[in-house]
Structure 1
């Protein structure tokens, strides 16, 4: 994953100093925009495009958003976005427009609502062909004339010589277009722009849309569509800073100059301006999932004025407030990766409630959140592992908001989220990993939600059948038979962990019978362990092993016992009982030998799943099932190997370029792994309140804890070669084991590492 020196220089300059590149765009750089101490290290281009176009890039977008905001205003380089799912690929040569909603780091695309594109000259209503300037209304662009930082995006649209600048509030996107002096300037609204309508995962379809001209500077409308989310309603209210001179609405190929309203399934509008006065055209676009009236309210509440630079500064200040929750010292590249990681982790979940608290519930009714907050975009199969544990440490108030939002789905839908998007359950992935998120918050004492209701939700969501968690089969067979449910091995081991989490909350609340029931189920992973080959292997309903078996054979999302992985990668998923897993493998020696083989076996015979990347042997850091595995040596008496492999991942599989991630960033999970690991610890079992120590690479870190105390990490002799722990002290006392606890962190204090280039095989032996 290497890039040219020139490209590195451009990325470094844009990210660190916020300097736009040469020529026209540089002349238009706002002089009144300021940057904070930590915002300056965020590079939104990290994770936006792989150098090798056959590999995963991160699937992040570079556009403007605020922390956990509803609007993410960003350029799309594809007419029908599919891969990457963010709609923006750093390797593309043209931009088709700027849409107001995006997903960050996911493996599947959706959203891309209300595309806007400024143009000049001949009016065109088709987006044109990808990477072909002059084809349709798309435009060529260059990274030398492109800038991105938190709350601000800028690009020169070369076909039109238009400098486009974007910023946003939570519900409103603000555009500033500096046109050349012309009587023939246009701004196009495209309500047909969406993910690829022909892709095979599901049918994306615009069910209906409307665009209405309210007056000579205001338009509004909506679109209703299906996609990854089964039904989405998107309402908008848009205002220009100056009146448009002419209008043309379009339905398909039919054009209607001067028409005040249009309805259909493929509608667009063009709004003409005279820019001979040299003044920029500003545009405010407010969104709501509820109504046009709420979109108007969102705009009047959040952005009544037109001061673009002020909005950029306000957004930047919001990001600075969030990023300063962890203060680190290290190399410039390390700080760029770290703070961009925090930025990506805080990009979602998104508050989909309007400013009055209205939101669309999972039963498609309109509900109201008393605290004006209702979160969605829960990529839980990914984020329960490290992102949500990170939120419990530095976003406790939002963690309570996440839990309350999940409990509202339970109220209207009958069980907790699996993968919730735009307030709608889409059933993506397996298990029900809202359970560990809620239990983790409860066990760590996060205030702000009803503990008894939370327990009812996690219990009932562990008893009621739903896609990905067939509990009636679970109760009958004590494992998932592959001939009754595909992905059976992955479902078995992941449901066992979820059950352990339910048991812990039952224990906390004194529900002894429930505890006994769920703790027993948490051991069902044993029933698919084949001692003859030493792997978790699929069984049929008759109790016989499914043959033939190859631990290297990959599964995707159905039709195979393993989910986005193989038997090697799922062998290690017993975070609730690592000693029990060690016992299954014949003790520590056998366990370590198997781990050694896992990290050194390079054979990838058979088809490798598209999500598998970032390989170290069979370890695939580009997807979540592997994320905890390097830390398992800590449990088996050889922590120096944890240190070696964690350091290798930190140093080799992350960088500060567009290809900075070794897989999809997955809504903050890939970043959160780095954030924890760079500081020297990681939640192998995210609900255990224990963190395994690894190999810190930062010189210094300070984390503000929920109680207002500071937890500090100091590292002596950090560096790529000095990956081994020589000694550790916690609050001045020598630490002899490779673990710290939640209370060690939230009570404040200091963790001190001394690193060396040689392993200390006497330290940390458990």
Structure 2
């Protein structure tokens, strides 16, 4: 646990909340600096960015502290001392970097068009800054650029970034536009480079251009239209080291521009920058529709109002730290997926053609290996319209690409991670009755995605062997157990639609995990195509993203991944007592080899909360009749592995998954199987929570004697009636009502322990 709080950060954050928010407003609890920088610079902290965005927006405007961002992937590290500029697109919480489009930076003094090196003070156009002169809240970011005496403020709409720069008196003030700024181009396995770019001076208040580049997303086109509140007096355009004054247009692969101004003391210059993935004309349309004027404060207020509405879908009470973690978590969960469609509905499709979304929404940034576990189930409760739009966007990829997204960025499938976890997301939404989805089309896409060979999912091999052999496909154990879960989801949707043959076929495949269970070792273990176990075998050995049977984990962490049939997993391991004893060892075995994957952090024994394969495991005691152990470990994670500082997460936040685990668990329940409508009960830490449901009803949780010491459930009531089950169902929640907990310092070993109290396999009426 990292309890160290950055004092200046906390004090400045509390001062900001007090000065800018009325009592009772939920945005006062959002702390955008949570998850932006680890205390220990060798560990992960979230990889979030502090700059402004609106919910699920295209433009996400934020400072970059690195010339060539790589790690953290957000481009901003709280531990850095300089800012290189403000770019308009970012990833929130990912483990891999990309985007950072159209960077702006205000400066004074001699024109410098190279960012410069961090260690050389004053070289290039970067500037030092101090957290004491930096602030952020939903819809607003501010920092003093110390080297220039320029106060920079940022806000945004969905497609437009708005900058307000307050300059000192200067006859050599500049605003730099950098189209060469990108993720680290030296990382050869991404082979990032600019294919082509253009900067065009339309007039002395307007700049337009584009860049086409490769990176994590294989081909991206970014068009921009920028307007300035004050005419610039002259320009310098540069391609690499070659620069020309007052030229109307420049093309190349390493473009920057300096727009020159004369400023009076405390003079403000505003810049608004509209983006489009389709065309400059669409960028102009986006600006015309969303930000025709120049009222910075009004735009910031509108963004704050949008966030207030979204955050209000769950209202909670608890300690200040709990509320800051909770509402910042919702903020992070609603930062993506991103609507990459322009205001007219145009978007760049997966096959690089231009499509048009009739609802003006086409979403991307689908980190599905992470978010299918808790973020998407959370969206079904409080973002049902968005859930339908997410799924319709996924189905559009199927139309153009042949299968559903695995990890989609900017409309481009990048094949990151394993399995095809759009399948449980779509299955869960349909079984929950989310409207606005073409169910027959969705099933067509799901079945095709579960039968068509594509990278990471070799279904011909799957059908032939009944598992993935390690000598055919690396990460074979993780792929096997995760595809088995996806197959279970296909089967459930087939059953709902009356497709009996499909149901039986995919149910058979959903049990393929058994073929990699080695009863001699008690682990899921790799086999080659000849059926022999891969040796030597050490369950502590970590894998990354290839070269090992395990994906970003070890055999201990993947021993528990059968969410579709926990009773069978318990049977494989010898019954409840043997299963629980192995869980006890898992949570206490502290041995770690020297090659622990970089994503492994937040350890409790072998449990690693900093990465997703561990996220459901603490809840498995509920299934074995020992729910008090679930309560202990869930409370331990909630209270010790999250905080409200820049190091607030124990791993990458992963596009809302790390936050959604906290959101569910703080309220007292969690979807171990994200698509069966059953929620295992843990240890609620909030005083109360009220969730506004999509059907107009509310579901509330109250907790008596809530404290870190009182982590054990003494009794529960559901709608005023004594309740002994270690789970609640989708129907319990959607019917509305109230779940009351009484907590204490000692376990009540008679609650939730009977055979009928353990979570069932199914929580829907169908």
1:445 aligns with 2:445: no
Q: 1:483 aligns with which of 467, 471, 480?
A: 471
1:598 aligns with 2:586: yes
2:359 counterpart SS class: coil
Instruction: Report the counterpart of residue 27 of structure 1 in structure 2.
Output: none
1:760 aligns with 2:718: no
Q: 1:691 aligns with which of 666, 679, 698?
A: 679
Instruction: Report the counterpart of residue 495 of structure 2 in structure 1.
Output: 507
Instruction: Report the counterpart of residue 330 of structure 1 in structure 2.
Output: 318
2:58 counterpart SS class: coil
TM-score scaled by structure 1?
Answer: 0.97
Instruction: Report the counterpart of residue 3 of structure 2 in structure 1.
Output: 2
- Cα distance in 1, alignment partners of residues 3 and 501 from structure 2: 56
2:267 counterpart SS class: coil
- Cα distance in 2, alignment partners of residues 153 and 220 from structure 1: 25
- Cα distance in 2, alignment partners of residues 278 and 546 from structure 1: 69
Deviations 1:391-430 (A, max 9, x none): 0000000000000000000000000000000000000000
- Cα distance in 1, alignment partners of residues 732 and 740 from structure 2: 13
Instruction: Report the counterpart of residue 735 of structure 1 in structure 2.
Output: 723
Which runs of 5 or more structure 2 residues have no equivalent in the other structure? 759-766
Instruction: Report the counterpart of residue 432 of structure 1 in structure 2.
Output: 420
Instruction: Report the counterpart of residue 147 of structure 1 in structure 2.
Output: 135
1:12: Cα distance to partner? 3.6
- Cα distance in 2, alignment partners of residues 316 and 18 from structure 1: 15
2:666 counterpart SS class: helix
1:733: Cα distance to partner? 1.1
Q: 1:127 aligns with which of 92, 115, 120?
A: 115
1:467 aligns with 2:468: no
For the 8 Å contact 2:142–2:152, the answer to whether it is kept is yes
Instruction: Report the counterpart of residue 17 of structure 2 in structure 1.
Output: 16
- Cα distance in 1, alignment partners of residues 268 and 734 from structure 2: 50
- Cα distance in 2, alignment partners of residues 702 and 36 from structure 1: 15
- Cα distance in 2, alignment partners of residues 556 and 755 from structure 1: 40
- Cα distance in 1, alignment partners of residues 687 and 298 from structure 2: 35
Q: 1:527 aligns with which of 501, 505, 515?
A: 515
Q: 1:628 to 1:425 in 2, by over 3 A?
A: same
- Cα distance in 1, alignment partners of residues 190 and 168 from structure 2: 42
1:10: Cα distance to partner? 2.5
For the 8 Å contact 2:599–2:610, the answer to whether it is kept is yes
Instruction: Report the counterpart of residue 636 of structure 2 in structure 1.
Output: 648
- Cα distance in 2, alignment partners of residues 593 and 677 from structure 1: 24
Q: 1:381 aligns with which of 369, 389, 392?
A: 369
Q: 1:71 aligns with which of 53, 56, 59?
A: 59
- Cα distance in 1, alignment partners of residues 390 and 53 from structure 2: 19
2:52 counterpart SS class: coil
Instruction: Report the counterpart of residue 617 of structure 1 in structure 2.
Output: 605
- Cα distance in 2, alignment partners of residues 554 and 7 from structure 1: 37
1:102 counterpart SS class: coil
Instruction: Report the counterpart of residue 750 of structure 1 in structure 2.
Output: 738
Which runs of 5 or more structure 1 residues have no equivalent in the other structure? 20-32
For the 8 Å contact 2:83–2:128, the answer to whether it is kept is yes
1:743 counterpart SS class: helix
Q: 1:239 aligns with which of 223, 227, 230?
A: 227
For the 8 Å contact 1:131–1:140, the answer to whether it is kept is no
1:317 counterpart SS class: helix
Q: 1:179 aligns with which of 154, 163, 167?
A: 167
For the 8 Å contact 1:10–1:144, the answer to whether it is kept is no
Instruction: Report the counterpart of residue 94 of structure 2 in structure 1.
Output: 106
For the 8 Å contact 1:45–1:657, the answer to whether it is kept is yes
For the 8 Å contact 2:223–2:276, the answer to whether it is kept is yes
Matches within 5 A, 1:233-312: 233-276=221-264, 278-312=266-300
- Cα distance in 1, alignment partners of residues 244 and 19 from structure 2: 42
Deviations 1:79-99 (A, max 9, x none): 000000000000000000000
- Cα distance in 2, alignment partners of residues 371 and 530 from structure 1: 50
Instruction: Report the counterpart of residue 703 of structure 1 in structure 2.
Output: 691
Instruction: Report the counterpart of residue 25 of structure 1 in structure 2.
Output: none
- Cα distance in 2, alignment partners of residues 368 and 9 from structure 1: 45
1:189 counterpart SS class: strand
1:15: Cα distance to partner? 5.6
For the 8 Å contact 1:18–1:147, the answer to whether it is kept is no
1:342 aligns with 2:330: yes
- Cα distance in 1, alignment partners of residues 18 and 213 from structure 2: 40
1:407 aligns with 2:395: yes
Deviations 1:46-76 (A, max 9, x none): 0000000010010000001000000000000
- Cα distance in 1, alignment partners of residues 265 and 16 from structure 2: 33
- Cα distance in 1, alignment partners of residues 408 and 93 from structure 2: 15
Deviations 1:275-329 (A, max 9, x none): 1164300000000000000000000000000000000000000000000000000
Q: 1:586 aligns with which of 555, 574, 587?
A: 574
- Cα distance in 2, alignment partners of residues 409 and 14 from structure 1: 45
1:183: Cα distance to partner? 1.6
For the 8 Å contact 1:112–1:195, the answer to whether it is kept is yes
For the 8 Å contact 1:613–1:621, the answer to whether it is kept is yes
Deviations 1:184-207 (A, max 9, x none): 110000000000001143100100
- Cα distance in 1, alignment partners of residues 267 and 652 from structure 2: 41
2:587 counterpart SS class: helix
For the 8 Å contact 1:49–1:91, the answer to whether it is kept is yes
- Cα distance in 2, alignment partners of residues 11 and 609 from structure 1: 34
The worse-fitting range, judged by mean Cα deviation, of 749-758 and 8-17 is 8-17
Q: 1:664 to 1:18 in 2, by over 3 A?
A: farther
- Cα distance in 2, alignment partners of residues 245 and 17 from structure 1: 41
1:564 counterpart SS class: coil
Instruction: Report the counterpart of residue 24 of structure 1 in structure 2.
Output: none
- Cα distance in 2, alignment partners of residues 613 and 375 from structure 1: 30
1:285 counterpart SS class: strand
Q: 1:18 to 1:73 in 2, by over 3 A?
A: farther
- Cα distance in 2, alignment partners of residues 52 and 271 from structure 1: 39
Cα root mean square deviation, aligned: 1.1
Instruction: Report the counterpart of residue 385 of structure 2 in structure 1.
Output: 397
1:3: Cα distance to partner? 3.1
- Cα distance in 2, alignment partners of residues 184 and 14 from structure 1: 35
1:181: Cα distance to partner? 1.4
1:58 counterpart SS class: coil
- Cα distance in 1, alignment partners of residues 668 and 333 from structure 2: 18
For the 8 Å contact 2:156–2:299, the answer to whether it is kept is yes
